[in-house]
């Protein structure tokens, strides 16, 4: 294993590059022995607390095994406002890192090499992001309206449906065309000319008239950028993944009351089958989806925990040894390889959380991250 890591580093050094501007950033040294990965960096977006303007970007530099916090702030000292408020999603496209800063109304693009800001694109209440060759697709909760009578009674109310926006990858401009999807869309994935959007209905569930979660996956044709169909899955959709082989996976949160969270798989004909119950955190690596769930998720006394981890390949489940139950509040998952995982811990969701490396089913180390460390991306 060590040998492999060494070889990998050696390969990297064959084409000498100008040292990147962030090479001087130092962080916490960690132990990556035994970890085999082709990634140069693992980025972690810390959500921060809503209204606290403390979203932050950390990364783990594989070459010297350093964990560096608040990289955006350190590499962009002129950006006085920092990364912004509530980082909700992160994805790598080529040598760019795209981050969805929900409560700032921005999609932030930085260089993966040195975390320097390349663009900040205005999008109302953006949630998640995915790419094809031409566009970045961003889900958004925007589109709400209500009209009030003189006594503040609602005379016309449109239960707000969300939108799917697209941003041109070359110009980094928001396209004027948008597609209306379901209520409060969350995750988005692209496969073979189709865009899949997971609709949660998280806000609609507490609003009149229906007080109901959404339960649909929207399928959008990328070429015409129009809604093709909505497929019923289960209540409160969260993430959607495309494994590159045609499998579309959807995770759901349930209703926190009598419908559990779960994993669903869309089959070729468009029908949907449940794969598993209990999905709290999940990550796709190659064609394998890794996820961790808690069978005690309706026990709100917060003492009992029965966390179990699984991997799913082509719809086939296998249990994995990943004891995240030793953490306080597992919040984000990143699969580096079949035996190495980074798991973030939100702690009390208020003070800075942590990231831990689990290797071969055992926790190797833990470092301090930012508040609500939630979203990983590999470069």
Residue nearer to another protein on the CB measure, 99 or 190: 99
Measured from the CB atom, the residue of 83 and 242 that comes closer to another protein is 83
Residue 199 CB, shortest distance to another protein, in Å, is: 15
Phi-psi map region of 8: left, alpha, beta (phi>0 left; psi -120 to 50 alpha) = alpha
Phi, psi of 59 (to 5 degrees): -150, 155
- Which CB, 70 or 199, lies closer to another protein? 70
Shortest CB 60 distance to another protein, Å: 20
Which of residues 83 and 195 has its CB atom nearest to another protein in the complex? 83
Helix (H, G, I), strand (E, B) or coil at 255: coil
State which of positions 269-328 bind another protein (CB under 8 A): 280-281, 294, 296-302, 304-305
Q: Does 128 sit near another protein (CB under 8 A)?
A: no
User: Minimal distance in Å, beta carbon 111 to another protein?
Assistant: 19
From the list 372, 333, 340, the residue with the least C-alpha distance to 357 is 340
CB 163 within 8 A of CB 140: yes
Q: How far is CA 356 from CA 34, 204, 330, in A?
A: 15, 35, 10
The contact mask relative to another protein for 206-245 (x = CB under 8 A, - = no) is xxx--x----------------------------------
φ, ψ dihedrals at 95, nearest 5°: -105, 25
- As a whole number of Å, the CA-based R_g of the chain is 21
Q: If binding is defined by CB under 8 A, does position 24 make contact with another protein?
A: no
Min dist. Cβ of residue 214 to another protein (A): 14
- Cβ of residue 2: shortest distance to another protein, in angstroms? 32
Q: Is 174 in the site for another protein (CB under 8 A)?
A: no
- Report CA torsion sign: 216, 222, 223, 225: positive
How far lies 354's CA from each of 10, 349, 357, 370, in Å? Answer: 30, 11, 10, 7
Site string for another protein, 70-89 (x = CB under 8 A): x---------xxxxxx----
Asked if 268 interacts with another protein (CB under 8 A), we say: no
Q: Can you tell me which of 197, 340, 343, 346 binds another protein, judged by CB under 8 A?
A: 346
Closer residue to another protein (CB): 82 or 185:
82
Pairing state between β 96-101 and 87-93: antiparallel
Q: b/e per residue, 130-157, with b = 16+ CB within 10 A?
A: bbbeebbbbbbbbebeeeeeeeeeeeee
Please state, in angstroms and rounded to a whole number, the distance separating the CA atoms of residues 196 and 227: 10
Give me the least distance between CB of 375 and another protein, in Å please: 13
- Rounded to a whole number of angstroms, the minimum distance from the CB of residue 276 to another protein is 16
Number of residues that bind another protein (CB under 8 A): 65
Strand 56-61 with 41-46, pairing: antiparallel
Contact call for residues 113 and 20 (beta carbons, < 8 A): yes
Nearer to another protein, 339 or 368 (CB): 368
Our finding on whether 379 is near another protein (CB under 8 A) is: no
- Which positions touch another protein (CB under 8 A)? 51-54, 70, 80-85, 101, 103-106, 120, 122-125, 141-142, 144-148, 152, 154, 160, 203, 205-208, 211, 253, 256-258, 261, 280-281, 294, 296-302, 304-305, 329-331, 346, 348-352, 368, 371
């Amino acid at each position: 294993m060590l040998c492999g890591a060494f070889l990998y580093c050696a390969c990297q050094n064959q084409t000498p590059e100008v040292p990147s501007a962030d090479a001087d950033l130092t962080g916490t040294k960690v132990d990556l022995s035994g970890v085999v990965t082709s990634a140069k960096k693992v980025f972690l977006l810390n959500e921060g607390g809503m209204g606290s303007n403390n979203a932050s970007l950390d990364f783990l530099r594989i070459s010297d095994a350093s964990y560096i916090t608040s990289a955006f702030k350190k590499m962009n000292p002129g950006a006085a406002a920092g990364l912004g408020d509530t980082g909700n999603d992160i994805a790598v496209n080529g040598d760019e890192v795209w981050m969805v800063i929900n409560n700032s109304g921005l999609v932030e693009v930085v260089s993966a090499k040195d975390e320097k800001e390349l663009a900040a694109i205005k999008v109302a209440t953006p949630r998640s992001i995915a790419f094809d060759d031409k566009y970045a697709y961003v889900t958004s909760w925007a589109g709400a309206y209500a009209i009030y009578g003189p006594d503040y009674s609602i005379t016309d109310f449109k239960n707000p449906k969300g939108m799917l926006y697209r941003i041109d990858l070359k110009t980094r401009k928001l396209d004027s065309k948008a597609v209306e999807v379901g209520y409060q869309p969350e995750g988005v994935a692209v496969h073979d000319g189709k865009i899949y959007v997971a609709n949660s209905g998280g806000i609609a569930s507490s609003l009149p008239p229906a007080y109901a979660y959404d339960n649909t996956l929207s399928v959008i044709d990328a070429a015409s950028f129009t809604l093709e169909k909505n497929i019923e899955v289960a209540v409160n959709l969260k993430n959607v993944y495309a494994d590159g082989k045609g499998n579309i996976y959807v995770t759901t949160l349930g209703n926190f009351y009598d419908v559990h969270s779960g994993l669903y798989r869309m089959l070729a004909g468009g029908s949907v089958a449940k794969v598993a119950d209990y999905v709290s955190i999940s990550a796709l690596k190659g064609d394998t989806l890794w996820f961790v769930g808690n069978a005690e998720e309706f026990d709100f006394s917060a003492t009992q925990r029965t966390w179990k981890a699984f991997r799913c390949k082509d719809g086939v489940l296998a249990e994995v040894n990943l004891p995240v139950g030793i953490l306080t509040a597992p919040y984000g998952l990143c699969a580096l390889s079949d035996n190495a995982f980074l798991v973030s811990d939100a702690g009390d969701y208020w003070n800075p959380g942590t990231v831990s490396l689990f290797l071969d089913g055992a926790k190797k180390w833990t470092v301090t991250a930012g508040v609500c460390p939630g979203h990983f991306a590999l470069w």
